[in-house]
Amino acid sequence: MEISELYKIYKQYPEVSTDTRNAPKESIFFALKGANFNGNEYAEKAVDRGCSYAIVDEAKYATRPNIILVENALETLQELAKHHRKQLKTPVIGITGTNGKTTTKELITAVLSQEYNVISTVGNLNNHIGVPLTILRIKKEHEVAVIEMGASHIGEIKLLSEIAQPNYGLITNIGHAHIEGFGSYENVIKAKGELYDYIRSTRDGKIFIDFDNSLLREMAEGITSIDYGFEEDLFVSGKVISIRPYLVFEWKFGNKRNKVKTKLIGEYNLMNTLAAVTIGKYMGVKAPLICKAIEDYEPTNNRSQLKETDRNMLIIDAYNANPTSMHAALENFDHMDVSRKVLILGDMKELGPDTDMEHQKVADYISNHSFDKVIFIGDNFSRVNTNYPRFRDMESLKDYLTVNPIEDSYILLKGSRGIQLEKCIDML
């Protein structure tokens, strides 16, 4: 079946699903495959539960007229999204970067939603499946789309850009992450730069750029840019006022200065908020509405969250970790003017041959700064040269905390998602 023919079906049934457990009635079910499942096996169940059509790529499952056989269900999903995007006039903002993608995407969405009908990536559905699903959610009434793009290999951002076809691009930053997949830091730079490459290839594409990031400036050569950062002559400039413990910052546009009290932890979030301010101002959102949107925004899902318990104050940043975000979190915590600082740090994943070196760097940094208590969790941290307590898993840590409770402290919990640091929150 030609994509144009499938698109006619999509126009009649404009909801798409990949999971029979939450597939809406009269939607189109795409039978995708994973390491431990084959979506083709659920095609009949999908139509039995009310899906109008199912798309499969194994002939033996095309048992009904409304179960359509294609060569590759995933590629068909991507091509359908690409075809849909070409029909839309909705401007798309594409976002990638090593750290801060999701927070920045949510801040931008909050700001633009003050004036526009905005659609954006749900959660962190930012991969080769999530991006086409998001594009297929865009309707004519949507005035702006904010699309997050993640990657762990070269070529992924290129693919996602070709699907989303962004009019505007934003790279939050480039750091040491997913080295196992990319192979080297140089390849991380090349991969993230694929968003700039796509914008550069378009006629009217523009980027929003952290002007203080010399690497991004170098990569952005030849692209029209809207700049933000510390310098006062930029489109938007800003500075940190306080981090006790929430980020308070000031931003300036023209001759007008605005002070914003956020619910975000960390001075490293300044550039994420300035990105949202810049895009808001560029798209005509009034300054008071920009400030309100950022002040009202509350982080979720263990991303820079502040949580007060009966015994302690927790800074929960346990959704992900890489060397760049780890050092940013440690520096911010070190600068915070609070009493009794405790670190509970979990392994950083997907660092390949750099694993031991990067974990040792963290231990060395900590030993040169004043923290009242330090605890490491995970196989990687178990190999570092240090005298700090180390535990291989969360169960061992929980046993330790039962005997050695922590009280009257500010505690930073930072680690990769696989460590599941959130499991010890109830004990703190």
Q: What is the pLDDT of residues 375-416, one digit of tens each?
A: 999 999 999 999 999 999 999 999 999 999 999 999 999 999
Q: Is the pLDDT at 202 greater than 90, yes or no?
A: yes
233 and 131 together in one domain: yes
Same domain, 207 and 319: no
Same domain, 161 and 55: no
Instruction: Look at residue 246 and give its three-state secondary structure.
Output: strand
Both 218 and 152 in one domain: the answer is yes
Measured in whole angstroms, the distance separating CA 157 from the mean position of its chain's CA atoms is 13
CATH number, domain of 35, equals: 3.40.1390.10
Best CA proximity match to 97, nearest among 150, 147, 160, 156: 150
Could you tell me if 118 and 162 lie in one domain? yes
Q: Cβ–Cβ contacts within 10 Å for residue 137, how many?
A: 18
Examine the domain organization and report whether 145 and 249 are in the same domain: yes
Query: Is residue 82 in some structural domain?
Result: no
Residue 336 lies in a domain: yes
Q: Could you tell me if residue 83 is inside a domain?
A: no
Q: Is 40 annotated as a binding residue?
A: no
103 is in an annotated binding site: yes
Q: In what order do the strands lie in the sheet with 67-69?
A: 16-17, 28-30, 53-56, 67-69
Query: Is 96 known to sit in a ligand binding site?
Result: no
Domains of the chain: total: 3
pLDDT of residue 258: 97
Residues 61 and 35 in one domain: yes
Q: How confident is the model at residue 349 (pLDDT cuts 50, 70, 90)?
A: very high
Residues 335 and 243: beta-carbon distance below 8 Å: yes
Q: Does residue 260 lie within any of the structural domains?
A: yes
To the question of whether residue 324 is assigned a binding role by annotation, the answer is no
Domain membership of residue 219 (yes or no) is: yes
HSE (side-chain half, CA atoms, 13 Å) at 134: 29
| Domain contains 206 | yes
CA dist list (Å): 80 to 67, 123, 176, 276, 416: 16, 22, 34, 30, 34
The pLDDT value recorded for residue 318 is: 86
Query: Given pLDDT bands bounded at 50, 70 and 90, which one contains residue 300?
Result: confident
Q: Residue 101: how many CA atoms within 13 Å on its side-chain side?
A: 28
Token pair for 137: 């959610």
Cis amide linkage into residue 166, ω under 30° from 0: no
CB 245 within 8 A of CB 261: no
What confidence tens digit (pLDDT) does each residue in 70-129 have?
999 999 999 999 999 999 999 999 999 999 999 999 999 999 999 999 999 998 799 999
Give residue 110's pLDDT. Answer: 98
Given pLDDT bands bounded at 50, 70 and 90, which one contains residue 181?
confident
pLDDT tens figures, 324-341: 999 999 999 999 888 899
Is there a single domain that holds both residue 201 and residue 272?
A: yes
Residue 306 in contact with residue 245, Cβ under 8 Å? yes
Check whether 386 is labelled as a binding-site residue.
no
CB count in 10 Å sphere of residue 70: 19
Q: What is the 3-state secondary structure (H, E, C) of 68-132?
A: EECCCHHHHHHHHHHHHHHHCCCCEEEEECCCCHHHHHHHHHHHHCCCCCEEECCCCCCCCCHHH
Residue where a domain stops, chosen among 40, 72, 104: 72
Within this chain, do residues 309 and 240 fall inside the same structural domain, yes or no?
A: no
Q: Which of 278, 296, 314 is the last residue of a domain?
A: 296
CA 276 to chain centre: 14
CA distance 73 to 304: 37
Half-sphere exposure of 73 (CA within 13 A, CB side): 28
User: What number of other Cβ atoms are within 10 A of residue 86's Cβ?
Assistant: 9
Closest residue by Cα to residue 195 from 179, 211, 174: 174
Residue 22 lies in a domain: yes
Q: Is 158 annotated as belonging to a binding site?
A: no
User: What pLDDT is recorded for position 179?
Assistant: 84
Q: What is the pTM of this model?
A: 0.92
With cut-offs at 50, 70 and 90, classify the pLDDT of residue 302: confident
> Rounded to whole angstroms, how far apart are CA atoms 88 and 14?
14
CA 383 to each of CA 64, 379, 386, 395, 399: distance values in angstroms, whole numbers, following the listed order? 56, 7, 9, 19, 21
Ligand-binding site membership of 155 (annotated):
no
**Same-domain status, 278 and 172:** yes
> Region 31-47: what's the mean pLDDT?
93
Instruction: Indicate if 325 and 258 belong to the same structural domain.
Output: no
- Please tell me whether residues 248 and 312 are part of one structural domain: no
How far apart, in Å, are the Cα atoms of 91 and each of 86, 100, 220, 424?
11, 22, 20, 43
Reduced to 3 states, what is the DSSP secondary structure of residue 372? coil
pLDDT greater than 90 at residue 304: no
Residue 163 zone, left/alpha/beta (φ > 0; ψ -120 to 50; rest): alpha
Percent of the chain with pLDDT over 90: 87
Structural domain including 30 reads 3-72
Residue 169 lies in a domain: yes
